[in-house]
Amino acid sequence: MTPIEVLQLLLFPGLTFFVWLAFLFEWLERKTAARMQGRRGPVVTGPYGILQPVADFFKLAAKEEIVPAESDSFVLRWGPALYFAAPAIGVAFIPVVGAQSILYDPLDLLFMLFILAFSTLMALMLGYASAGRYSTIAIGRLVVQYTGYEIPLILAMVTPAVLARNLSIAGIAAAQANLWYIFLAPVAFAVFIIAALAELEKPPFDIPSAKTEIVGGWMTEFSGNTLAYVKLTKNLSYAFLSALAVSLFLGGAGGPVLSADPTVQAVLYTVYFLAKLFAVGFVIFVIRTALARVRIDQATRLFWTILTPLSLAQLAVAILVVAR
C-alpha cells in the first residue's frame, strides 16, 4: 500500500470524508424533519446549525461514562470500536472519485453483506452487554427485525450483481455507465431502501429504539463516549447504506465527462456522487418523517410476505434479462 493510498483511506475519500458526511446526514435529517413538521431545526450552532451534530458528538465524548454494575465491561469497552469499524471499513469499498474505490476485491459485495450482518451483531452484543431491561427487550426486537429484513436486503443487493455479472461494487457501478439499474430493477431499489430503513432503525422501523415504548432501545444504558460513538456509527451507517444504494443502483460516481483534465473530472465525479448520495438520503428522510411506527409483528409480516417474494421475483426477472 502506498502512502497516497493510506492518505486516501484515512482522509479523502475514505474515513474522514465519510465521518463528516455522517455529521452532515444527521444535520440534514434533523433539518428535513423539522421543516416538514413546521419547525426550523437547529440554527445557532454554525451556519444554519450545520455543526449541531458535531457539538453533540464532542459534548457526549467529554461526559462521564457510567458502566452499569451488571454489564459486561469488556464488551462495552471494545464493542463500540468494532461497531464503528464495520461501516468505517465498508466505505473504503465505495467508488467516490471515478470508477475506482480505494480498496478493491473482485468479490467485495459479499464482504459488504458480511459487514451489514456484523454491524447488527455488534449492536446486539452491545445491547446485551449493557444488561438493561429495556436493552434486552430491544435486542429481542432487533433480532426479530433482522431476520425479517436480511433476506430481502441480500436479494436486493444481489440483483444488480446479477445484472452486471460482477461481484465487486466498483464493477457494478462501472457496468451502469449506460443505464442505471434503478431503471432495470426498480423493485430491488425500493426493497433496498425499505430494508435500509430497517437496518438503520429509522421510522417506520425504529422498533428496536422506540423511544415511547422502550426508552432508548438498546442504547438506554449507554452514556458518554460509548453513546457518542454508537450514535456516530449509526449516522455513518446511514451514509454508508446510501452510498451503497448509489453504487448499486444509481451508477456510482458515474456521469458525463465534461473535462479532459483528470483533476477537474475527479472533482466532477465527486460532485455527481454527492448529488446522488443526498438524493437517496433525502428519500429516506422524507419517508422517515412522513410515516408512523409499525409494530414488530406488522414489520416482519411486511418483510416476509411482501418484500421477500417481491425481491425474489425481481431477481428472477433480472436473471431472465441477463440470460437473454
Binding stretches for other proteins (CB under 8 A): 30, 33-34, 36-45, 49, 51-52, 54-60, 62-70, 73, 133, 137, 140, 203-204, 206-207, 210-216, 219-224, 227, 289-298
Residue nearer to other proteins on the CB measure, 215 or 266: 215
Residue nearer to other proteins on the CB measure, 27 or 83: 27
Residue nearer to other proteins on the CB measure, 142 or 161: 142
DSSP 8-state symbol, 219: G
Residue nearer to other proteins on the CB measure, 230 or 244: 230
Q: Is 242 helix (H, G, I), strand (E, B) or coil?
A: helix
| Nearest alpha-carbon partner for 286 in 41, 32, 53, 24 | 32
Q: How far is the CB of 77 from other proteins (least distance, A)?
A: 10
Q: Among positive and negative, which fits the CA dihedral 310, 105, 178, 252? A: positive
Residue nearer to other proteins on the CB measure, 28 or 164: 28
Q: How far is the CB of 24 from other proteins (least distance, A)?
A: 17
* 229 vs 83: CA distance, rounded Å: 9
Q: How far is the CB of 133 from other proteins (least distance, A)?
A: 6
Cell numbers placing 57 = 458528538
Q: How far is the CB of 139 from other proteins (least distance, A)?
A: 13
Q: Does residue 108 contact residue 166 with C-beta atoms inside 8 Å?
A: no
Q: How far is the CB of 293 from other proteins (least distance, A)?
A: 3
DSSP letters of 96-150?
Answer: -STT--SS--TTHHHHHHHHHHHHHHHHHHHHHHTT-HHHHHHHHHHHHHHHHHH
Residue nearer to other proteins on the CB measure, 58 or 78: 58
Residue nearer to other proteins on the CB measure, 37 or 259: 37
Q: How far is the CB of 152 from other proteins (least distance, A)?
A: 18
**b/e code 199-238 from CB counts within 10 Å (16+ = b):** bbbbbbbbbbbbeeebbbbbbbbbbbbbbbbbbbbbbbbb
Residue nearer to other proteins on the CB measure, 103 or 129: 129
Q: How far is the CB of 303 from other proteins (least distance, A)?
A: 15
Residues ≥6 apart with Cβ < 8 Å to 221: 68, 71, 130, 131, 132, 135
Q: How far is the CB of 165 from other proteins (least distance, A)?
A: 38
Residues ≥6 apart with Cβ < 8 Å to 3: none
* 76 vs 108: CA distance, rounded Å: 29
* 169 vs 301: CA distance, rounded Å: 30
CA-to-CA separations, 163 to 71, 157, 255, 277, 308, in angstroms, rounded: 47, 11, 19, 22, 19
Residue nearer to other proteins on the CB measure, 14 or 49: 49
Other C-beta atoms closer than 10 Å to the C-beta of 33 total: 17
Q: Is 38 helix (H, G, I), strand (E, B) or coil?
A: coil
Q: How far is the CB of 79 from other proteins (least distance, A)?
A: 15
